[in-house]
Amino acid sequence: MPRCRISAQRDRYAAPVPEAGATVLPAVGVRPVLVAAFGTYRRRFGLIAGAALVVFGISAGLDVLTEAVNDRASEYPGLVATLLVVASLATFGTTFFAGLLDRIVGEEERGHPRRPLGQVLRTLPYWRLLAADVLLSLGAVFATILLIIPGLVFYTYFSLVGPAVVMEDRKVFDAFRRSMRLVRGKFWLTFLLVTLPILVEEDVVHGIVALVGDASPLLVFVVNTLAGGAVGSVVALVEVTLAGRLAMRKPEPALAQVSPRSP
């Protein structure tokens, strides 16, 4: 008769989860989260800012190429293929950046040993992060089609799914469940620190870029990269810091992976 084997193997690079009953827990509120996030930014500025410039530089290049394709697609068919390549790199880069911040906050807030960038690159759960991001986006779009409010509620409750995947090494659907539990009781705080900044992030960046909209493509690219990197990294770092602190206040082991094994 087949038996089940519970795998105890965990991601050894994931930040440790504090034990229940811990007496020293981080404060959760607008001010302490912002102070902690900017403190992490200051201490790890080189790594965070450098990664942000690369990732958002790719996105800025995508924007410039999109404008070029719109105007000259018939003249330069190769631009379409280039655009697809850059879009793929942008998606990968955004996923990497989110995971990198999860690792950094795990190190800063939970005392996990610092890992070299190359090790982080090799060990991030990219496919789980991508799957979680796609499901979150599709769910938010579907809920928004019904009404704006359900879309915002859906996104807020599940906005911490990425940190749950990386920091606690959770499977995708377990991470969604974990995100809802973390946000429960802190909905408005999460909305204020995560959902609202994400809603206005793109508008803020586009507003800055619009100031040099008639300039050369190179200047537009540079401004877009700097604005996107500065705004995007802060927004993402605040999100991850909030997720990490909520997780420490609500410790919960990830679901064990069950796999069949023949006798």
pLDDT tens per residue, range 161-172: 999 999 889 999
Q: What is the mean pLDDT of the chain?
A: 81
Is a pLDDT exceeding 70 seen at residue 261? no
The b/e string for 27-55 (b: 16+ C-beta within 10 A; e otherwise) is ebeeeebbebbeebbeebeebbeebbbeb
pLDDT, one tens digit per residue, over 69-93 is 666 655 656 656 666 666 666 667 7
pLDDT, one tens digit per residue, over 16-66 is 444 444 457 889 999 999 999 999 999 999 999 999 999 888 888 887 777
Cα angle, residue 112 at apex, residues 106 and 117 outer, rounded to 5°: 75
Q: What is the separation of C-alpha 56 from the centre of its chain, rounded to a whole number of angstroms?
A: 13
214 token code pair? 């008639």
Q: CA dihedral in degrees (47, 158, 189, 13; nearest 10)? A: -30
Residues 186-211 have a mean pLDDT of 90
Return all residues near 185 (Cβ < 8 A) that are at least 6 apart. Answer: none
Instruction: Give the pLDDT band (50/70/90) at residue 111.
Output: confident
pLDDT at 8: 37
Range scoring the smallest mean pLDDT among 77-91, 115-129, 142-156, 218-232: 77-91
Integer Cα distance of 253 and 255 in angstroms: 6
Integer Cα distance of 119 and 182 in angstroms: 28
pLDDT at 147: 82
pLDDT at 216: 81
Is a pLDDT exceeding 80 seen at residue 226? yes
% residues pLDDT > 70 (the chain): 78
Helix axes 126-146, 148-158, angle to 10 degrees: 160
Instruction: Give the pLDDT band (50/70/90) at residue 241.
Output: very high
Range scoring the smallest mean pLDDT among 7-16, 133-142, 175-184, 236-245: 7-16
Given a contact cutoff of 8 angstroms between Cβ atoms, the answer to whether 182 and 162 are in contact is: no
> Amino acid identity of 162?
G
> Amino acid identity of 2?
P
- Assessment of whether the complete model's pTM goes beyond 0.85: no
Instruction: Give the pLDDT band (50/70/90) at residue 117.
Output: confident
Integer Cα distance of 263 and 196 in angstroms: 53
Q: CA dihedral in degrees (84, 89, 93, 94; nearest 10)? A: 10
Q: Is 82 exposed, middle or buried (0-12, 13-18, 19+ CB in 10 A)?
A: middle
pLDDT at 20: 42
Compare 115 and 85 and report the one with higher pLDDT: 115
Integer Cα distance of 149 and 15 in angstroms: 34
